């Protein structure tokens, strides 16, 4: 019986982590798309440092993770429709 409870707890934890991963992939994909569309010459001075931090973080990701993130944003956009909602 304790093993069944432990398995159920681990399953719930894994499901929660997978849900969080999907959310983080969507946020990462959206950040990547935003950074790619920016013209740093037109950013306010205060935003350049933040954009650089985001870009540095994105560049540190593996290609596979970044691909997954962009795919998650595309899939989310397709589900939400053109209005985004």
% pLDDT > 90, the chain:
74
Predicted confidence at residue 79, as pLDDT, reads 62
Range of the domain at 7: 2-80
- The helix/strand count (H/E) of the chain reads as 3, 0
Predicted confidence at residue 83, as pLDDT, reads 57
- Asked if residue 49 belongs to a domain, the reply is yes
- Asked if residue 19 belongs to a domain, the reply is yes
End-to-end C-alpha distance for the chain, whole angstroms:
44
81 or 32, higher pLDDT: 32
How far apart, in whole angstroms, are the C-alpha atoms of residue 2 and residue 24?
A: 33
18 or 82, higher pLDDT: 18
How far apart, in whole angstroms, are the C-alpha atoms of residue 85 and residue 66?
A: 24
- Asked if residue 36 belongs to a domain, the reply is yes
- Asked if residue 43 belongs to a domain, the reply is yes
- Asked if residue 85 belongs to a domain, the reply is no
Predicted confidence at residue 2, as pLDDT, reads 86
62 burial (CB, 10 Å; 0-12 / 13-18 / 19+) is exposed
């Amino acid at each position: 019986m304790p093993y069944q409870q432990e398995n159920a707890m681990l399953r719930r934890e894994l499901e929660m982590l997978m849900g969080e991963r999907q959310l983080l992939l969507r946020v990462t994909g959206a950040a990547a798309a935003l950074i790619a569309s920016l013209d740093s010459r037109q950013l306010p001075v205060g935003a350049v440092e933040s954009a650089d931090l985001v870009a540095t973080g994105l560049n540190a990701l593996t290609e596979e993770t970044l691909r997954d993130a962009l795919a998650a944003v595309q899939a989310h956009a397709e589900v939400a429709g053109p209005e985004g909602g």
